[in-house]
Structure 1
Amino acid sequence: MPGARNGQHIHGHGRRLMSPREVRGLWLTLLLLAPAMLQAQPRIAIIIDDLGYSRDAGVRVLQLPGPVACAFIPDAPYSVEQAEVAHELSKEVMLHLPMQPHAGARAHPHTLTVNSTSDDVRSVLNGAMLHIPHVVGLNNHQGSLLTERSSHMRWLMDAMDAYPHLYFVDSMTTPRSVALHSARAAHIPSARRNVFLDHERNTAAIHAEFGRLVRYAKRHGTALAIGHPYEETLAVLERRLPSLKREGIVLVAVSDLIHTRTAQRGDQDWRVSLRLGDAPTAITPDRMLQAAN
């Protein structure tokens, strides 16, 4: 056959073309390597805390591109409505559970304190889970004092065991927190916050922290940030999130980041797959109005 020799396909200029069998083999190799190649890309996850108090700020958070997690205060006036919209948009809904700080912060209703018993912890968690729909994760609001108490953190993880789909994120409001250790000891899927985006509430500082988030992810493979629905924070995120792909960074859901870290540790304690529904739904004016009312 002209142009073929020993089953090989020869181009008119003498270069050998790949046979169909070789092409299939190459495609199979690429398909097998694709997940590993994607996994090799640095990944970040971002949680926006303190949601449910502001209509307008909540709407802006819901409009952020990608799977930014939304952490709602249980008793805030707009938490339920905005959690419903977040779920429809395939943004993970988290419970931002108030816990006692060392000093200087106002108390929220149903705050877990050092005087809370194990029954109190269970009751507060159950009540919050009944109130906020579609919750898949939990992190602490404040809690610099309580997260240092191993007994209370153990009681919290025991209470979370009734919800096997939940993960826990230690907000790291104190360097002496034992919350992550308690979660892992209880086989709760968990992670700790790496970067606080808006500890200083000014645009330049938030840009700097976002840059630190990207560098941390490139150095360690994953990075988890927490921010708040401040005007300055949202302005930075609206500008920086669309550029992540150009920087070689993948924005992922918190559950995906925890799953990645769990796999890297060789830990098989991830108990269930979190199903957030179908593909993201577009934000329509009606849905935005509902979130704002």
Structure 2
Amino acid sequence: MHKRSSFFQSIKSFFSLKHIAVLLALLIMILVAVLVGYFIGVHQIRSEVERKDEQTRLLMGQIKNIAKIDGDYTDKSIVMSKKQEDEIHRLKKELREILDRQSLNASHEYAPKDKKALPPAPEPKVPRPTKEGDAKLVIIMDDVSYAHDVKSIRSVGLPLVMSFLPPSHRHGDSALLARDVNGYMVHLPLEAVDFESEEDVTLRVGDSKEMINGQIQKIKKLYPNVRYINNHTGSKFTADEEAMDRLISVMKTNGLIFVDSRTTAQSKAKTVDSKYGIRYLGRDVFLDHHDGVENIKKQIREAVATAKRNGSAIAIGHPRPDTLQALKESKDVLSEVKLVGIDKI
């Protein structure tokens, strides 16, 4: 009897040890997986941080170079050569462009603190299917400010509509650049709910009709061929019916048409247009609210599908490398519609 009891205890002990070994093996596997995932994640984060740090170092280096040269330049005992003066101008211009590009982002205005947020939906439309190839699509390139913007947009080889920001201390030549562009628009800065990098002159909700008229007169003088104006930012301004009434009435008097960028779903542009008997024009698709060539190509397909479904559509993008590359790679899709100017829809 004693031997039988010992035998069963041995079996029980054996199975207990086996189970413990299996559990330990499983725990080790899980621990290894967690550690591998952790180190892969840390490596990716470290790579991203290092990339950002390198960008910051380059930017700070440029700032220091400009500060140093400016310091020498203000010292009257030092005579600057033409080459040194040109270098000051070049560095200042380059820094302004870098800083400006950091602040101009497709998703910055409607969701400045949520990079994953989708853009506001377009105004609903009644479907108007067209014959194959007859659908019209307008692609507006916003934030055009520099010569390299114009050059890069033209390099795509498609009839894209350029919308120029009014001149500011960051991009003083934008109006001059528009002189050689056919069918351009003006990208009018309007007050946002939450946006840090405002343009020098941004119309605000409380601005009087006289103030708005003064700004519109300046724009007409700077851009004598302008007919269409769309809003840069403007989530606060376009959501205010009284402010939009003042703006659209002034624009109508001056023979200008407002194109709603739809930076907010609460836009009152359509309501005010209806009051003045104006046909509403609004953005249907943002092409580059999220970065990445494949993301933008998906939005291009959405813009084409929208144009086919409704007879016409308006898409908005920006002269950024990913957007331009996506457009170049989407010419076969875009050939399914007619790319036209804003005046042709």
Aligned counterpart in structure 1 of residue 137 of structure 2, from 44, 51, 74: 44
Could you tell me which residue of structure 1 aligns to residue 337 of structure 2? 249
Distance 1:214 1:198 in 2: 15
Cα distance 1:215–1:146, how it changes in 2: closer, same or farther (>3 A)?
A: same
Shift in Å at residue 200 of structure 1? Answer: 0.4
C-alpha distance in structure 1 between counterparts of 2:293 and 2:243, whole Å = 37
Which residue of the partner structure matches residue 240 of structure 1? 330
Q: Tell me which residue corresponds to 2:291.
A: 201
Structure 1, unaligned stretches of length 5 or more? 1-36, 258-293
Post-superposition offset of 1:185: 2.1
Superposed displacement of residue 122, structure 1: 0.9
The residue that corresponds to 1:97 in the other structure is 188
Root-mean-square deviation (Å): 1.9
Give the structure 2 partner of residue 110 of structure 1.
201
Bigger shift: 236-245 or 122-131? 236-245
C-alpha displacement at 1:38, in angstroms? 7.2
CA distance in 2, matches of 1:168, 1:64: 27
CA distance, structure 2, for counterparts of residue 63 and residue 79 of structure 1: 18
Matching residue of 1:28: none
Deviation per residue, 1:222-242 (Å, 9 max, x gap): 111000111111111123236
C-alpha distance in 1 between matches for 2:194 and 2:236: 8
Call closer, same or farther: CA 1:238–1:82 in 2, change over 3 Å.
farther
Which of 221, 231, 236 aligns to 1:145? It is 236
- Which residue of the partner structure matches residue 276 of structure 2? 186
Tell me the SS of whatever aligns to 2:181.
helix
Alignment of 1:78-93 (within 5 A): 78-87=173-182, 92-93=183-184
**2:146 maps to 1:58:** no
* Rounded Cα–Cα distance in structure 1 between residues aligned with 2:140 and 2:239: 22
Please name the residue that 2:159 is paired with: 67
Q: Which has the larger radius of gyration?
A: 2
- State percent identity of aligned pairs: 29
Q: Which has the higher contact order (CA 8 A, sep 6+)?
A: 1
Q: Secondary structure at the match of 1:192?
A: coil
Q: Find the residue that maps to 1:139 and give its secondary structure.
A: strand
Letter paired with 2:140: I
The Cα of 1:66 is off from its aligned counterpart by 4.1
Give 2:341's aligned amino acid: A
- 3-state secondary structure, aligned to 2:267: coil
Secondary structure in 1 matching 2:316: strand
**Number of positions where the alignment pairs a residue of Structure 1 with one of Structure 2:** 213
How far apart are 1:211 and its partner, in Å?
Answer: 0.9
Q: Which residue of 2 aligns with 1:32?
A: none
3-state secondary structure, aligned to 2:140? strand
Indicate the structure with greater helix content: 2
Q: Is the 8 A contact 1:94 1:137 kept in 2?
A: yes
Structure 2 unaligned spans of 5+: 1-129
1:224 to 308, 314, 317: 314
Once the 2 structures are TM-superposed, how far is the Cα of residue 192 of structure 1 from its aligned partner?
Answer: 0.7
For residue 40 of structure 1, report the CA deviation from its aligned partner: 7.0
Letter in 1 for 2:216: L
Point out the structure with the larger strand share. 1
1:121 paired with 2:218, answer no
CA contact (8 A) 2:269 2:280 kept: no
Is the Cα–Cα contact under 8 Å of residues 133 and 338 in structure 2 kept in the other structure?
A: no
In 2, are the aligned partners of 1:51 and 1:79 still within 8 Å (CA)?
yes
CA distance in 2, matches of 1:117, 1:147: 15
* Partner amino acid, structure 2, of 1:79: S
**TM-score, with structure 1 as normaliser:** 0.68
- Give the match for residue 99 of structure 2: none
Deviation readout 1:141-170 (Å, 9 max, x if unpaired): 000000011111111111112322x32210
CA distance in 2, matches of 1:188, 1:63: 35
Question: For the residues of structure 2 that align with 1:219 and 1:208, how far apart are their CA atoms?
Answer: 16
Deviations 1:241-292 (A, max 9, x none): 36522xx3111111111xxxxxxxxxxxxxxxxxxxxxxxxxxxxxxxxxxx
Q: Quote the Cα distance in structure 1 between the aligned partners of 2:297 and 2:200.
A: 33
